[in-house]
Amino acid sequence: MPLVTYVDHDGTRHEVEVEVGDNVMRGAVNNGVEGIVGECSGGLACATCHCYVAADWADVAGTPTSDDERDMLESAAAEVRPTSRLSCQIEVTAELDGLVVELPERQY
């Protein structure tokens, strides 16, 4: 299984194996990573799974894939950056093995 590293705002790192086909949000929620809430369970109805894709992974993880994701990012509680994504919209693939995402200071 691909390894995803979630980096809390304070620098604490959580390395989690996430199944191919699952998403980065589900990997965090299922493994108790507190910096991602996922209040809408991936339904693109909130922005509580906002994350920053590490710069060296931005090309692989891609940019927001839909107008809905872009719209939801506008309601994120924390600063939106060029590498901001909703983690529910990042499907884990073998190519994302080693992915690093940074978590914002707050989701609300």
Q: Mean pLDDT of successive 10-residue segments in the chain (108 residues)?
A: 97 98 98 96 96 97 94 96 98 98 97
Read off φ and ψ for residue 68, nearest 5 degrees: -60, -45
| Cβ contact 61:97 at 8 Å | no
Separation of alpha carbons 25 and 9, rounded Å: 16
pLDDT of residue 96: 98
Q: In this structure, what token pair is assigned to residue 28?
A: 């965090």
- pLDDT value at position 97? 98
What the chain holds in terms of domains, given with CATH numbers, is: 3-102 (3.10.20.30)
pLDDT at 50: 98
pLDDT at 62: 93
Q: Residue 8 has what pLDDT?
A: 97
What does the pLDDT read at residue 98? 98
Q: Are 105 and 71 in contact (CB under 8 A)?
A: no
Q: How far does CA 23 lie from the centroid of its chain?
A: 8
Q: Give the model's pLDDT for residue 9.
A: 95
